[in-house]
Amino acid sequence: MLKKIEYHLNLPALTFLEAGKEDCVPYNMWGPGERAVNVIHFVKSGAGVYNINNEQQIVSENQCFLVPRGVTTFWQADGIKPWDYWWICFLGEDVPELLESCGFDGQHYVLTLEDATPIWDSIDTILTHADRAAGSGLIIQAEMLRIFACLQQNSHQASKQEEPADSYIVQRAIQLVNDHVSDGITVKELAERLYISRTKLNKIFREDMGVSPHDFIIHSRMAKAGELLSKTNMSIAEISKIAGYDTPFSFSRAWKQHFGVPPAVSRAQKNDLTQWGIKNMGKNKWVRTQGQ
């Protein structure tokens, strides 16, 4: 039995430049800036935020995002579940048409993959041919074309979000505060790290948490200080630094304003201070506690 195929192929003018993979640390970022090549990042696990044309979109597991050549972009890994992403870099005359055939149409820069397994396999294969042995170039070119074939066959444009979900922003804000209490992080710095305005941050924080971001920062400092006062013999000066205050005086004043007595008095009363600060009672129900 004879079986054959006739298919006069015109392969796209496409040049492979680089491939790689990285298990990113929390808040790992790139940009804002422009790339001199085209890059597609494939997210294998975790999540992050991608910003292009001043629009942000959350990108997570089994999605990919395009970084077009010569366009200002920025991306940042999530602070709690940072992404593990893989990528390919390329150039070529036929790149615009090829990208459009995959779904990157100039309005959509994020695709959702129905099955990303072939892409992981292709990039793994590419990475095993870094030695440039005989035939490696053709194998790499074939695997790159396989990646684009996969995008054409089993991906679709992700729903476009002008901004990340408010709850996601609040989650990242809380993590930032917890990670940087000792640095004395401010609301202004928090908004800058999240790439939103202070007005926007204040609005969504109040809606989601029931307190302002400023109050949350203060409460977080008090909670940290209360734990150290209760569980350690550290001096007030040492605790003030860890709680994000420049001087023992500024810390003592803030503590007294918050609880009515100086920190030294609180420690002398030998109360359990580990819960001094705020306690999460559920959405919009954050309340101050005093050593319950």
Domains within the chain, CATH numbers bracketed? 15-157 (2.60.120.280), 166-289 (1.10.10.60)
Residue 242 · residue 228 · CB < 8 Å: yes
* Model confidence band, residue 289 (pLDDT cutoffs 50, 70, 90): very low
- 214: pLDDT strictly greater than 60: yes
Whole-number mean pLDDT of the chain? Answer: 83
Q: Determine the Cα–Cα distance for residues 225 and 222; give it in Å rounded to an integer.
A: 5
- 290: pLDDT strictly greater than 60: no
- 2: pLDDT strictly greater than 90: no
**The two three-digit tokens of residue 236, written as one number:** 């007030």
**The two three-digit tokens of residue 200, written as one number:** 């926007």
- 51: pLDDT strictly greater than 80: yes
* Model confidence band, residue 153 (pLDDT cutoffs 50, 70, 90): confident
DSSP character string of the chain = --------------EEEEEEEEEPPTT-EEEEE--SSEEEEEEEESEEEEEETTEEEEEETTEEEEE-TT--EEEEE-SSSB-EEEEEEEE-TTHHHHHHHHT--SS--EEEES--HHHHHHHHHHHTTTT--TTHHHHHHHHHHHHHHHHHHHEEEPPP-SS--HHHHHHHHHHHHHHTGGGT--HHHHHHHHTS-HHHHHHHHHHHHSS-HHHHHHHHHHHHHHHHHHH----HHHHHHHTT-SSHHHHHHHHHHHHSS-HHHHHHTT---TT-EEEE-STT-EEEES--
Question: For residue 228, what pLDDT is reported?
Answer: 86
- 181: pLDDT strictly greater than 70: yes
Question: For residue 256, what pLDDT is reported?
Answer: 86
Whether the bond between 12 and the residue before it is cis, its omega within 30 degrees of 0, is no
Residue 275 · residue 225 · CB < 8 Å: no
Question: For residue 95, what pLDDT is reported?
Answer: 94
What is the chain's alpha carbon radius of gyration, rounded to the nearest angstrom? 26
* Model confidence band, residue 204 (pLDDT cutoffs 50, 70, 90): confident
Q: Determine the Cα–Cα distance for residues 11 and 251; give it in Å rounded to an integer.
A: 68
Q: Quick one: which of 216, 225, 238 has its CA closest to 266? A: 225
Q: Determine the Cα–Cα distance for residues 75 and 164; give it in Å rounded to an integer.
A: 13
Question: For residue 175, what pLDDT is reported?
Answer: 82
Phi, psi at residue 147, to the nearest 5°?
-60, -45
Q: What's this model's pTM, rounded to 2 decimal places? A: 0.61
Q: Quick one: which of 206, 218, 202, 236 has its CA closest to 278? A: 218
The CB density around residue 203, as the number of other CB atoms within 10 Å, is: 14
**66 pairs with which residues across the strands?**
40
SS (HEC) of 210-262: CCCHHHHHHHHHHHHHHHHHHHCCCCHHHHHHHCCCCCHHHHHHHHHHHHCCC
Most confident stretch, 24-28, 273-277, 285-289:
24-28
Question: For residue 157, what pLDDT is reported?
Answer: 62
The answer to whether the Cα torsion of 52, 54, 55, 56 is positive or negative is: positive
What digits encode the pLDDT tens for the residues 76-125? 898 778 999 999 999 999 999 999 999 998 888 999 998 899 999 999 99
- 34: pLDDT strictly greater than 50: yes
What digits encode the pLDDT tens for the residues 233-274? 889 999 999 989 989 899 899 888 877 888 888 888 765 554
Mean pLDDT of 202-209: 86
- 291: pLDDT strictly greater than 50: no
Question: For residue 64, what pLDDT is reported?
Answer: 95
- 279: pLDDT strictly greater than 50: no
- 292: pLDDT strictly greater than 70: no
